[in-house]
Amino acid sequence: MKVILASTSPYRAALLEKLRLPFIQVDPDYIEERLPAEAPAELCRRLAEGKARSVSRPATVAPWLVIASDQVASLPGGKVLGKPSGFDAAVSQLQRCSGRWVAFETALCLVTSGGECRIDADVFEVRFRELDEHTIRRYLELDAPFDCAGSIRAESLGIALIAESRGRDFNTLLGLPLMLLTDMLAGLGIDVINEIK
């Protein structure tokens, strides 16, 4: 079975490589916009499905499986923190996160060449340290997390902004919940360990 990761993200690719399943990356042709009053859980699931379906292949080719993921960061009360539009927006986001818990919900969508579609999500929460403006600006200069939800690159220097965390799988925070993905693959009859050649 051909596995397609519906993402050009090097971070998601590095995470998927941990499962040792050969895959290719395809850039999803899907506009990532939030609908009015859309809750974080609904948003990440809809975007993950949209990405997966945008790269689905005709059933006439060899069997394939598309894996797509989308992450939404939110403050208590459901205030969504998207990818910052630039430095100043990232400063503002991190100021709002300072000393607070932030939920990172990451949805997975798997679409098969047989037409099956499965969607699920995992949540990982982090409490940010109390951050002064100098620390925020210095972090952004060093790590440039402007393509990251919540303005933090947790797999890099962003980990220094986190005081504590809670959740099933740290990979969820990084953008691809591997424990959930393993469960979903098993539901499709794919045993990750026994698929390794």
Residue 183 annotated to the active site:
no
Catalytic residue (one of 70, 122, 143, 169): 70
Residue 137 burial (10 A CB sphere; 0-12, 13-18, 19+): middle
d(CA 12, CA 15): 5
Decide: helix, strand or coil at residue 18: coil
Angle between helices 87-97 and 133-143 (to 10 degrees): 130
The H-assigned helical ranges of the chain are: 10-17, 40-54, 87-97, 133-143, 170-174, 178-187, 192-195
Q: Which residues are catalytic?
A: 70
